[in-house]
Amino acid sequence: MESLYIEPSEFTPRVFFDPVNSVFEISGFSRPENVVGFYKPILKWLEDYNDLVLSKNTEFNKSNLVINLKMTYFNSASSKFLLDILLEFMKFHSKGNSIEINWFYDEDDDEILESGEEIADMINYSFNFIPISPNS
């Protein structure tokens, strides 16, 4: 299956879903003018990924999926879609695939850390919270 790559813009995040290495990354800033138009294709890609890749795996060959979220800011409409994306991954988890969710945040940015904690609580799953030093 083809990977999904969306170039970042001033108002939208970089998206790179790599089905070969099972690494899924969303990073940057999210305040799209058309939030539905931006996020719906990502959710559609995940549905296809489930149908074309994960559902073909045997019981002894389940995937280890790594999700890296490196957001600097997202508005409330985007938060709804980030949640929907993670809920898709939780469906994969319930089918026996292992999931690791890494939430990266600027170590001075309490707001983005707290947003991550709230989303982890909403999907009832533990995240790895990884601070990034502004100078690193």
Partner 1 sequence: MEKKEVLISHYGPLSYEEIGFLLNKMTAILDRYAFGITVKKKVYAAMVESLENIYKHQDLITGNTNYLPKFNLQLDDKYICLSVSNSVLNGKIFALKDRLNKVNLLDRNGLKEYYKEIILSGNVSQKGGAGLGIVNIAKVTENKLDYTFDEIDSNHSYFTLKIKVLHNTTQL
> What does the binding site for partner 1 look like in residue numbers (CB under 8 A)?
10-11, 31-36, 73, 75-77, 79-81, 83, 106, 108-112, 118, 121-122
Smallest CA-to-CA distance from 92 within 127, 126, 122, 51 is with 51
Residue 65 beta carbon to partner 1: minimum distance, rounded to whole angstroms? 22
Residues found in the chain? 136
Residue 98 beta carbon to partner 1: minimum distance, rounded to whole angstroms? 24
User: DSSP assignment of the chain, as one string?
Assistant: ---EEE---SSS-EEEEETTTTEEEEEEEE--SSHHHHHHHHHHHHHHHHHHTGGGS-TTS--EEEEEEEEEEE-HHHHHHHHHHHHHHHHHHHTT-EEEEEEEEETT-HHHHHHHHHHHHHHT-PPEEEEE-TT-
Residue closer to partner 1 by CB (options 79, 97) is 79
Residue closer to partner 1 by CB (options 88, 106) is 106
Residue closer to partner 1 by CB (options 6, 83) is 83
Residue 62 beta carbon to partner 1: minimum distance, rounded to whole angstroms? 27
CB 44 within 8 A of CB 4: no
Residue closer to partner 1 by CB (options 52, 122) is 122
Residue closer to partner 1 by CB (options 22, 38) is 38
Residue 35 beta carbon to partner 1: minimum distance, rounded to whole angstroms? 4
Residue 57 beta carbon to partner 1: minimum distance, rounded to whole angstroms? 29
